[in-house]
Amino acid sequence: MLHAKLFKATVVWTLGLLFLGSVVHATESSLACPDWPTCFGTMMPEMTGGVFWEHLHRLVAGGLVILFGVATWFARRETRDRPWIFRACLAGLGLLVVQSVFGGLTVIYRLPDMISTSHLAMAFLFLSLATVLAASTGRPPSPETQGFGREAGPKLRSLASIAAVLVFAQSVLGALVRHTDAGMACPDVPLCLGQVVPPLVNLQITAHVLHRALAIIATVAVLGVAWWVRTHEVPGRVRRWAYLAAFLVLVQVGLGVASVLTVLAVAPVALHTLVAAALLSTLVIVATLAARVEVGADVQRTHATV
């Protein structure tokens, strides 16, 4: 149905928007448009320099609201048998409105750390919600192994959900590092100021060290999901997503190291945010598909016993 395709398009669009937002910050274009919602008093400023990135980010954000609004309209018509989908869409629209307001506040109040961090956190929340909708309304799963469902399904769903929460927390902490200008608080890798645990004398060093520590925990959790999938019988579709998550988390670690070694060059920093978002979305897909396959397997067993 059309709503399912629009939900998938929303996920891709959101990933692109997050990438653009990271480029805006990395190129120091966040205040290239000093007013909001207009840019120098107009909706169509001259698209040059930092204005190009900042205003493009705003235009793409507006497109996301329209796209998801259309998806919500079709979902209302096509999923009357599953009212939770429409309610989730309304929650997503509300989240987009609040996030847009926070985006305006970041400009009006000249990039306050907590508002800017909250702005990114809400973007990741919306991405997660859109991913759940996309994975829940896409191609119906068909269990490929008889044992998957009653025990394996809930276990994988829990493992993937825990890993997703850790990646989300890591991403929010990364946003705090970015917006407090703590990206180079530890200029060396893998040590920080030549020590495993340096003196946590200010917010920048503390945030950066915590970001690295949580990165290790999140990486172990994601690789643990992939290892669990490798050692258990699960549908190939779910397995492929879990392996993709393992690949993305390793790329993410490499981009984090590259960001420090290149003194926060635009490319690795922007890709660092994009891959974090893609990793979160992938884990949410694994958890959602595990739940769907679990239900499908239970239904098949019920039919088999009738």
Tens-place pLDDT, residues 11-62: 999 999 999 999 999 999 999 999 999 999 999 999 999 999 999 999 999 9
> Is 177 a residue whose pLDDT tops 70?
yes
SS3 state at 39: strand
Instruction: Verify that 102 and 251 share a domain, yes or no.
Output: no
Whether the CB-CB separation of 14 and 130 falls below 8 Å is answered with yes
Last residue of a domain, one of 120, 138, 156: 138
Domain that holds residue 105: 1-138
Last residue of a domain, one of 79, 108, 138: 138
- The H or E element that residue 128 is part of is helix 113-137
Secondary structure of the chain: what % helix, strand, coil (to 5)?
A: 75, 0, 25
> Is 146 a residue whose pLDDT tops 70?
no
Number of domains in the chain: 2
Rounded average pLDDT over 122-146: 83
Instruction: Verify that 156 and 219 share a domain, yes or no.
Output: yes
Instruction: Verify that 3 and 111 share a domain, yes or no.
Output: yes
Instruction: Verify that 227 and 158 share a domain, yes or no.
Output: yes
Instruction: Verify that 12 and 134 share a domain, yes or no.
Output: yes
Instruction: Verify that 85 and 210 share a domain, yes or no.
Output: no
Instruction: Verify that 176 and 293 share a domain, yes or no.
Output: yes
Instruction: Verify that 85 and 104 share a domain, yes or no.
Output: yes
* Stated pTM of the model: 0.92
More confident residue, 237 or 152: 237
